[in-house]
A and B are shown apart, each in its own frame.
Chain A
C-alpha cells in the first residue's frame, strides 16, 4: 500500500507542478503584455494564489460540512454506520477514527474531507444511509476512507486553488483587454512595436488555453482518484459487489443533492450535478461514468485485489494502460468473499432502516415524541406551542411533553 501511495503521490506532484507552471507562465506573460513587467504579473499571480490559499485554509472542512448542513454523530446515534466506519478504518489501516457526519438530504451521496488522515471526516446523506444495506454501506465507506488514506482531499484542494487562480487571472486580463485598453502596449511606444505585438499575441493565446489545459489536468487527476478509490474500496471490503450495487442504487436515484455547489462537487462519491444519460465519453467530467465504474467492479472475476481491478479496468479501456500504479500491483492475491446467507437474513429491512435513520434525524431536530395509545407515533416540532395534540388516526387528545432546554 505504501508503495502505491508514494508512486501516486509522485505522479500527482508532477501534475500539480504542471498546473503551477502554467499559472506562473500566465502571470509572467500577462504582466509583460499588459503591465510592461513580467515580474509584476508574476507577483500579482502569486498574491491572488496566496489569498485563495488562505481562504481555503481557514474555511477548509468546516465550511464544506456546514455548507452541506452536516451533523456530527456518535456511536449511539447510529451504531450501524459507526460500526461500518470502524471496520473500514481497521481494514484500511487508517490510524485514527474519522469523524462521521450525516447530511439530512434525500439525495444519495457521500464525501470525505480532511487535510490529513488524522483529522478526517466522512459524511453521508440520510437518503443514502436509508437506502443501502450493510454490504453496500461498507463499499461506500471503504471508497471514502481510501480518499482519506490516499490524501486525495489535500491534493484536490491544492489543484482546485491553482486552477481557480488561473481562471481568475485569465478572466480579469480579458476584461482589461476589452474595456481598459492595453496600457503596456502604448507605453512600449512606436520603437519596439514588433516584440510587443508578439508578447500580446502569446498572452491572448495563453489566456484562452491556460484555463482549459489546467482544467483538463485537474479532471485527469480527479478521475483517476475515483477509480483508485473504487479499487481500494473493493480491496478493503473484499467484496466488489457491495460498492457496485451501492453505485447502482445511487445512479438510479433521481433526487439531486440540494446542498452541493460547483466547488464541492468533486468531493462526492458521484457528481451531484450529473445529468441523466451523460455520455461515457464526457471527458470534462470530474467523475468517471457511474455505469463504467459498476461494470469494472462487477467484472473483477472473483478477486478483490488492486491487480484484479486493474485487469478489469484494462478490459474496458483497451489501451493496455491501467489506473493503478504499477508498483502496487502483483503484490497479493485477494479473493473476494461471498456473503453468508445468514448475514443477509439478519439484515434490517428497508423500512427498519428508514425508521432508524429518521428517528436519528428527529432527535437532532428536537422533535418531541408523543406515543398515542392507538399505536401511532407523533413527532412534534419545537414550533408547536400547544400542550396537547390530537391524534390524526384515532382522534384521542394526547399531552405533549414539555420542551427541555
Chain B
C-alpha cells in the first residue's frame, strides 16, 4: 500500500492484535475498516466507540484542503470533522474502506478530549477509539 498523503512506504504495525498502517515518511496513519470493526467490537464491552457507520453519518465538509485518494479503492476521500474546537478533519473513504489520519491529527483529538472532558464525565464517542490509536502511536506528538 502506498501512503495516500506523500506516496511513502507504508509499514503495518500490529498493536494489541489490531493492525494499523503507518507511513514511514509523513507518519500518517491508515485505519482499515475491518480493523476498526474488530476494535469497535472489543471496546464495545465497556461503552460506546465510533464505528464506521457513525463516521459515515457525520456530514462531509467542503474545505480547501486537497482531497486525498483512498489507498485501497482509489476513490476521493471525504473530509469528516471529529472532536470540537477546532474540529480535526480526517479523511474517510466513501466506499468505507478506512480512515486516514495525518500526522498530528490523532494527538490533536486526544489533547482536546483531555482538556474538554471534566473528570468523571462520560467520554465523547470518538474518544475510546482515538485513545487506542493514540496508545498505539505513542511516539507521535
Contact = CB atoms under 8 A, between A and B. Distances in A.
A375 B137 CA distance: 13
B41 A130 contact: no
A224 interface: no
A395 B27 CA distance: 12
Interface string B9-38: 111111101110010100100001111001
Given A392-B140, A394-B139, A362 B24 contact: no
B12 A367 contact: yes
A384 B11 CA distance: 8
Contacts of A383: 9
Contacts of A389: 11, 24
Contact of A351 (B13, B17, B140): B17
Q: How large is the interface on A (under 10, 10 to 19, 20 to 34, 35 or more residues)?
A: 20 to 34
Given A258-B73, A384-B24, A393 B139 contact: yes
Nearest to B41: A350
B138 A395 contact: yes
A354 B12 contact: no
User: Chain B binding site: helix, strand, loop or mixed by DSSP?
Assistant: mixed
Contact of B11 (A127, A255, A379): A379
A392 B13 contact: yes
B14 A377 contact: yes
B19 A358 contact: yes
Contact of B96 (A255, A351, A354): A255
Interface string B31-54: 011110010011000000000000
A390 interface: yes
A121 B113 CA distance: 52
B15 A362 contact: no
Given A389-B24, A392-B136, A392-B140, A354 B13 contact: no
Interface residues of B, number: 31
A350 B38 CA distance: 8
Contact of B33 (A106, A130, A354): A106
A250 B95 CA distance: 17
Given A258-B73, A389-B24, A376 B15 contact: yes
Given A106-B33, A256-B95, A392-B137, A378 B38 contact: no
A385 B25 CA distance: 12
Tell me which of A352, A384, A392 has the highest count of chain B C-beta atoms within 10 A of its own C-beta: A392
A351 B24 contact: no
Contacts of A130: 34
Contacts of B14: 355, 376-379
A253 B33 CA distance: 12
Contacts of B136: 376, 392-393
Interface string B115-139: 0000000000000000000011111
Given A351-B17, A381-B9, A390 B139 contact: yes
A395 to B, nearest CB: 4
A351 B19 CA distance: 10
Contacts of A46: none
Contacts of B97: 106
Contacts of A127: 34
Contacts of A376: 13-15, 136
A7 B109 CA distance: 65
Interface string A113-144: 00000000000000100100000000000000
Nearest to A394: B138
Interface string B78-122: 000000000000000001110000000000000000000000000
Contacts of A362: 12
13 contacts: A106-B34, A130-B34, A256-B95, A351-B18, A352-B17, A367-B12, A376-B14, A391-B139, A392-B136, A392-B137, A393-B137, A393-B138, A395-B139
Given A379-B14, A392-B138, 13 more contacts: A127-B34, A254-B96, A255-B95, A255-B96, A351-B18, A355-B14, A362-B12, A381-B9, A384-B24, A389-B11, A392-B13, A393-B135, A395-B138
